[in-house]
Amino acid sequence: MGIKFQWVFLVLTVQSLIVAGEFFKPFNVSYDGRAIIIDGTRRMLISGGIHYPRATPEMWPDLISKSKEGGVDVIETYVFWNGHEPVRGQYNFEGRYNIVKFVKQVGSGGLYLFLRIGPYVCAEWNFGLDSLSLASGLV
């Protein structure tokens, strides 16, 4: 897994979400030095983390709903590359690793998403990097 794959994955994910068009709507976003302004309304965004591979896809809607009920505006998650490419050239986007489904559910739940592309994961996850990066001497 290289940086090129990560960018291709990101572009394909964003394109698939745009084509799906389930929850994308344009926002006018600005910053006035004190707060972020979304569609003319000053906002203080509250973020909470849901790491999609640590829960089953059946749990995601409830976790997202409870987050929103608790006052969260933004769901933060990493992209767990070592789960998406466990072996070089073999990709996994099924089950717990179906990131497109997770992103769509966050949007359908009326929340924003902060997608931490990585490759570093600072979340008690396999030394923070995928095994391919570790093995290739990236670190």
Listed as own residue / partner, the contacts of 81-87 with beta carbons closer than 8 Å and 24 or more positions apart are: 81/1, 81/6, 81/118, 81/119, 81/121, 81/130, 81/132, 81/133, 82/125, 82/126, 82/129, 82/130, 82/131, 82/132, 83/53, 84/9, 85/1, 85/5, 85/130, 85/132
On whether the pTM is more than 0.85, the answer is no
Q: Are strands 41-43 and 47-49 parallel, antiparallel or unpaired?
A: unpaired
Mean pLDDT by 10 residues, the chain (139 residues): 61 54 69 88 92 96 98 92 82 93 92 82 60 58
Please report the domains of the chain, with CATH numbers, ordered by start residue: 3-19+46-135 (3.20.20.80)
